[in-house]
Structure 1
Amino acid sequence: MHSETLNDLSLAGLQIAIQDIKDDLFDTPECDYAIAQLLNRWGQAEKAEQLLDEMLLKWGTSPDVLALTQRGHTEMKAEMTSEMTGSELLAENDEPMRKAPKTAPAQVRVVAA
């Protein structure tokens, strides 16, 4: 019960922060970008990425909107990479890909005839 209450409070805090951003930046591409950054920092990367993608539909493909969405995706990718352990890499499709474990080099024994 206690963790549910904390989770509800966290979500309420997130909603308040999003509303503050909307109040300050109104309905602009910068507003959507700032909300996407906030969602990503709160561990909701999937929602943040969806919001960035929806920006193109909502605002069109002007150079400013394209720059914001590209910067948002780049920042999310960089943050995801920095959070990963050394045993993970990003594949070209942004899916985590495990490195093969390191093995000892092969030893060759030469036997004289």
Structure 2
Amino acid sequence: MVDNFWGAIIRLVIALPLVSLLAYFLIKYGLSKKYLQLGDKYIKVIEQTSINPKASLNVVKIGEKYFLLTATEQQVNVLQEINDYQEKERPENEYLKVLAKKFSRESEQNE
């Protein structure tokens, strides 16, 4: 009985960290698919930032065009097509922060 107890503890001490590491790497690298292949065209999420816990602002590349989207649990809205977007010139999420500030200023002026 005591041998079974210590054997179970040893298996738990070995298995738990392995399962935790596996879950971490699957979530970090394996489950975050940012590409969706549609025939010979691609949809790619370029940048994403959270607006609130249930909504995000996204720059998405569809084919050769870039779009600014908002995504919530219920819907996805296209805000505008971005004609002058240049990848990798700005740090991550910097372009979205600039756009968010621009839209917030415009909405404050319209109110």
TM-score bracket, shorter-length normalisation: under 0.3
TM-score (structure 2 length as normaliser): 0.25
Higher share of residues assigned helix: 1
Structure with the higher fraction of residues in strand conformation? 2
